[in-house]
């Protein structure tokens, strides 16, 4: 679920990761970074994908949350990134959804450009309260139709927020590749990976290159937007304890996007058989589905909105963006 430990980064045309230094050197002599390589991993600005960056100050607190916004009509697709990512994790997908929906992607506490009185407090209760506070500050007591979308840790936050039943006009919940059983089982492994993760890179380009060669991402363009804003973080068991039952109890339409069927635990397997939520397995992708295949992810979200007629008149369109990866 998280980045693999840092391996030495090869330039374009050098040996594959995992080769011994002698075999890699025998195949291609070491050489300095080329202009092509630096350009390929150069950062991309958020403004190519979102329409607005807004600072949301929570009344009577020191907390100011950074959100990215795109689109002006339709229901609000409120996106919550995973631990160590940022709101820009949804940049490429937002650009594909904003003609049919309003996309709001938030930098959670301790991530991206958000600043709070205690950035180290990543408890599930605090993170959930932050999301509720941002929604209320943005929309008051009469919000538009809202769909909560959360990836990994953000998926856990989205489930906890929905389960509180305090968000008015909440119509849908989309959880991306997080299941209680597999998440809990991987925490020890994830802590070891985080302890061995690179602390410094010689350039932003190298950090972006690592994220797609030895890290969690596969889509270079998405990495070029999202990686520069990411921060270190620590995992917590409470993010995932009791998550499956809480997800099943949320009284809204639900869809679970998974990168593999092996991620289902017993409670979700039974719930899926009982028709309590829709499950979609997205092939040919890693853990960060919204970054690796943003076009396919966007079409799943728009299909979810259309099928459940979310918004003033639902989302009506004759042709959803064609998906490149078949289920």
Encode pLDDT of 260-307 as tens digits: 766 678 889 899 999 999 999 998 898 899 999 999 999 999 999 999
Which pLDDT belongs to residue 306?
94
Which residues carry out catalysis? 152, 177, 287
Query: Which of 187, 161, 165, 164 lies closest to 240 in space, CA to CA?
Result: 187
Query: Is residue 7 pLDDT above 90, yes or no?
Result: no
Question: Mean pLDDT lowest for which of 11-25, 170-184, 215-229?
Answer: 11-25
Per-residue pLDDT tens digits for 193-218: 445 555 566 677 888 888 888 777 88
Give 60: exposed, middle or buried? Use CB within 10 Å, 0-12, 13-18, 19+: exposed
Query: Cα(68)–Cα(207) distance, rounded to whole angstroms?
Result: 22
- For 50, the 3-state DSSP assignment is coil
Q: Which residues of 108-140 are buried (b: 16+ CB within 10 A; e: fewer)?
A: bbbbbbbbbeeeeebebeebbbbbebbbbebbe
Which pLDDT belongs to residue 312?
66
- Return the higher-pLDDT residue of 118 and 266: 118
CB 217 within 8 A of CB 82: no
Which pLDDT belongs to residue 308?
93
Query: Which of 41, 11, 1, 8 lies closest to 214 in space, CA to CA?
Result: 8
- Paired tokens of 312: 């003033």
**Residue 285 backbone dihedrals phi, psi, to 5 degrees:** -145, 160
Domains and CATH numbers, the chain: 41-230+288-308 (3.40.50.1820), 243-286 (no CATH)
User: What global pTM score does this model have?
Assistant: 0.77
Banded pLDDT at 12 (limits 50, 70, 90) = very low
- Return the higher-pLDDT residue of 237 and 15: 237
Per-residue pLDDT tens digits for 224-263: 999 887 634 444 677 888 899 999 999 999 999 998 766 6
- Return the higher-pLDDT residue of 27 and 131: 131
What share of the chain has pLDDT > 70, as a percent? 74
Query: Is residue 182 pLDDT above 90, yes or no?
Result: no
């Amino acid at each position: 679920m998280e980045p693999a430990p840092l391996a030495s980064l090869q330039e374009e045309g050098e040996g594959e990761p995992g080769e011994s230094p002698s075999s890699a050197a025998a195949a291609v002599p070491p050489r300095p970074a080329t202009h092509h390589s630096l350009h390929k991993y150069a950062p991309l600005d958020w403004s190519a994908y979102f329409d607005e960056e807004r600072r949301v100050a929570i009344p009577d607190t020191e907390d100011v949350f950074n959100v990215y916004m795109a689109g002006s009509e339709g229901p609000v697709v409120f996106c919550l990134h995973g631990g160590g990512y940022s709101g820009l994790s949804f940049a490429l997908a937002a650009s594909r959804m904003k003609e049919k929906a309003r996309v709001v992607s938030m930098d959670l506490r301790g991530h991206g450009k958000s600043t709070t009185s205690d950035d180290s407090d990543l408890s599930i209760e605090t993170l959930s309260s932050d999301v509720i506070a941002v929604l209320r500050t943005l929309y008051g007591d009469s919000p538009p139709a809202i769909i909560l979308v959360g990836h990994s840790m953000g998926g856990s936050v989205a489930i906890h927020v929905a389960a509180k039943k305090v968000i008015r006009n909440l119509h849908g919940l989309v959880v991306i590749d997080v299941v209680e059983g597999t998440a809990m089982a991987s925490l020890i492994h994830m802590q070891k990976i985080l302890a061995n993760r690179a602390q410094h890179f010689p350039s932003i380009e190298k950090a972006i290159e690592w994220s797609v060669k030895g890290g969690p991402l596969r889509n270079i363009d998405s990495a070029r937007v999202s990686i520069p804003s990411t921060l270190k973080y620590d995992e917590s068991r409470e993010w995932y304890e009791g998550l499956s039952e809480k997800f099943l109890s949320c009284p809204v339409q639900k869809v679970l996007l998974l990168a593999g069927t092996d991620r289902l635990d017993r409670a979700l397997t039974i719930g899926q058989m009982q028709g309590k939520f829709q499950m979609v397995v997205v092939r040919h992708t890693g853990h960060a589905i919204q970054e690796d295949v943003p076009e396919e992810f966007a079409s799943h979200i728009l299909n979810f909105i259309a099928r459940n007629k979310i918004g003033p008149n639902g989302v009506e369109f004759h042709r959803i963006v064609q998906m490149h990866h078949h289920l």
